[in-house]
């Protein structure tokens, strides 16, 4: 195989679409925190999440190749044979260095956040994901950290709205991770002898835990509409958020009733789109305030 990947395989390995979602989250974090950095700092603040996200997905595929084969994940480029393990490893290492280096030119807060979460991404793929809940907690935190990162790009103080957003994203992310464990449990158990929540609690109980987490996230999102500016009585916020809440609760409810492969793929994509829409709602709410 050639030492160079084509663009399509590179995008699949690094899940580049997730990087763009993280960029929106960082920008939302900056705007909700009440400031927009200078253009050079703004660009650097985007480079960090893009490349650290790329690194985390590439290293995950590198360590997960055996499990992915057992789960018949032919959508993964290493399993399909379009990308080699060495290419994945080089991509992960290079992306990590670029992402962390960019943050060093912003401020000490940004650098520490990038270094810690970039390193945890490596540790997650190597070991954390096989430990009861710890790996899932890390992934959920990694979904919330772009908002906190954006906050500290422009401020030395953690803003209250960023805390609330982080809780919503963390709870939703943890619930989505539990659904992912349900989806991939058989392959993970055979390939890595994973001792996660599903193995300890069972599929149905784990699905109910995810349902409760989604309910908590929905409750906080509605609280923000009534009490927290710029979200308070803001139509730009509440309309997409209600759609997101309905989709996530529907997916969570269905996980307590069915587990066929077709639904698994639908739920994965639906929850990803819903969470992307929520991030867009946070961004637009910071830009536009429209009272009901």
Angle at the Cα of 84 from the Cα atoms of 83 and 87, rounded to 5 degrees: 90
Q: Which of the residue ranges 94-108, 134-148, 185-199, 277-291 has the most confident prediction, judged by mean pLDDT?
A: 94-108
Domains of the chain: 7-287 (1.10.357.140)
Residue 195, both tokens: 């001792």
Model-level pTM? 0.82
Q: Is the C-alpha dihedral spanning 211, 213, 216, 217 positive or negative?
A: negative
When computed from its CA atoms, the radius of gyration of the chain, rounded to whole angstroms, is: 19
Percent of the chain with pLDDT over 90: 33
More confident residue, 209 or 108: 108
List pLDDT tens digits, range 46-104: 999 999 999 988 888 787 777 777 766 776 777 777 878 788 888 889 999 999 999 99
| Cβ proximity of 231 and 288 under 8 Å | no
Task: Return the closest-CA partner of residue 13 out of 111, 72, 92, 100.
Answer: 92
Q: Which residues contact 193 (CB under 8 A, 6 or more apart)?
A: 130
**Is the pLDDT at 127 greater than 80, yes or no?**
no
pLDDT of residue 1: 44
CA separation for the pair 213, 218 (Å, rounded): 9
Residue 256, both tokens: 């307590």
Average pLDDT over residues 254-277: 78
Q: Which residues contact 199 (CB under 8 A, 6 or more apart)?
A: 185, 189
List pLDDT tens digits, range 158-196: 889 999 999 999 999 898 888 777 776 555 555 555 656
Count of beta carbons in the 10 Å neighbourhood of residue 131: 15
Count of beta carbons in the 10 Å neighbourhood of residue 58: 28
List pLDDT tens digits, range 8-43: 777 777 888 888 888 999 999 998 888 788 899 999
């Amino acid at each position: 195989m050639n030492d160079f990947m084509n663009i399509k395989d590179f995008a699949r390995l690094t899940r580049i679409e997730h990087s763009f979602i993280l960029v929106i989250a960082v920008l939302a974090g900056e705007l909700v925190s009440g400031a927009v950095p200078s253009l050079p700092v703004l660009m650097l603040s985007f480079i960090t999440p893009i490349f650290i996200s790329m690194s985390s997905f590439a290293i995950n595929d590198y360590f997960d190749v055996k499990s992915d084969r057992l789960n018949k994940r032919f959508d993964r480029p290493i399993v399909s044979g379009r990308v080699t393990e060495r290419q994945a490893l080089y991509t992960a290492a290079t992306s990590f260095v670029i992402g962390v280096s960019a943050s060093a030119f912003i401020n000490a807060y940004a650098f520490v956040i990038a270094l810690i979460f970039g390193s945890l991404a490596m540790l997650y793929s190597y070991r954390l994901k096989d430990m009861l809940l710890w790996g899932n907690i890390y992934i959920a935190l990694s979904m919330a950290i772009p908002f906190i990162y954006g906050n500290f790009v422009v401020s030395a103080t953690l803003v209250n709205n960023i805390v609330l957003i982080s809780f919503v994203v963390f709870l939703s992310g943890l619930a989505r991770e539990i659904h992912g464990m349900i989806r991939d449990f058989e392959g993970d158990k055979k390939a890595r002898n994973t001792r996660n929540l599903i193995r300890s609690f069972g599929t149905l109980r784990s699905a109910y835990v995810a349902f409760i987490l989604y309910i908590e996230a929905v409750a906080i999102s509605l609280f923000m509409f009534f009490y927290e500016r710029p979200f308070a009585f803001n139509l730009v916020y509440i309309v997409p958020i209600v759609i997101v809440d309905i989709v996530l609760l529907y997916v969570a409810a269905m996980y307590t009733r069915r587990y066929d492969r077709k639904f698994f793929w639908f739920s994965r994509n639906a929850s990803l789109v819903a969470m992307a829409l929520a991030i867009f709602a946070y961004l637009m709410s910071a830009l536009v305030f429209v009272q009901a």
